[in-house]
Chains A and B, each alone.
Chain A
Amino acid sequence: DQQVKQNSPSLSVQEGRISILNCDYTNSMFDYFLWYKKYPAEGPTFLISISSIKDKNEDGRFTVFLNKSAKHLSLHIVPSQPGDSAVYFCAASGGERGGADGLTFGKGTHLIIQP
């Protein structure tokens, strides 16, 4: 029973273009959503988050959009750079436990930026 789904295992984007990574969730009690970036043999690194009361949050080249009615969020990276090549995980917090509980992760999308 996967509550956070990233349906694209991989995505290839040309350098300089926009990368759009998608994430769907099923648990309507999630109240925060976070994106993490992970390089091989390293731990995940926090990128950006959004509260369920907002529909957009922007930080530099990264923007996260939340469509609560569709239970869908997306991460936009523009312009894409070679260093953005990594696995991106969508994560959610809240659910039935509430508070500062453990995160529920998707399986990740491997983003490949081509020169």
Chain B
Amino acid sequence: NAGVMQNPRHLVRRRGQEARLRCSPMKGHSHVYWYRQLPEEGLKFMVYLQKENIIDESGMPKERFSAEFPKEGPSILRIQQVVRGDSAAYFCASSPRQLAGAEQFFGPGTRLTVL
């Protein structure tokens, strides 16, 4: 019974490159959330997706960031033209249902370092 899987666990990019972070939710979960954690900070909500739909992207920067959750395959968080300030831990969470207060199950995170 695999949990939420994220890969890669560590990603190093140079300024201006693209970063692609992948998230496979728990089996049976159709709701996916992405969060970013900067050093010494809490997790900040970025985007909430269901299969093939973006439900809420109010926490995601308007420029350079995009997310998708296709019908088949993992959810992808894409960061174009990365800058040093994008260095952070990116966590994906999934939930089985759309219910207020529903527990979200987190993956181990992808640590992005921008050189």
Contacts and interface: CB of A to CB of B under 8 A. Distances in A.
Whether chain B is bound by chain A comes out as yes
B101 A51 contact: yes
B105 A46 contact: yes
Interface stretch (A13-21, A59-67, A89-97): A89-97
Contacts of B99: 99-100
A5 B21 CA distance: 29
Contacts of B40: 107
Interface stretch (B12-20, B42-50, B72-80): B42-50
On chain A, which size bracket covers the interface? 20 to 34
Nearest to B105: A46
B102 interface: yes
A102 B59 contact: yes
A46 B94 CA distance: 12
A44 B92 CA distance: 10
Q: Report which residue of A94, A100, A106 has the largest number of chain B beta carbons within 10 angstroms of its beta carbon.
A: A100
A99 B104 CA distance: 13
Contact of B107 (A34, A43, A46): A43
Contacts of A44: 43, 91, 106
Contacts of B31: 100
Given A41-B108, A46-B104, A46-B105, A100 B97 contact: yes
A94 B33 CA distance: 15
B98 A46 contact: no
Interface string B48-60: 1000000010110
Interface of B: 4, 6, 31, 33, 35, 40-48, 56, 58-59, 91, 93, 95, 97-109
7 contacts: A43-B4, A43-B106, A44-B106, A46-B105, A99-B99, A101-B48, A102-B46
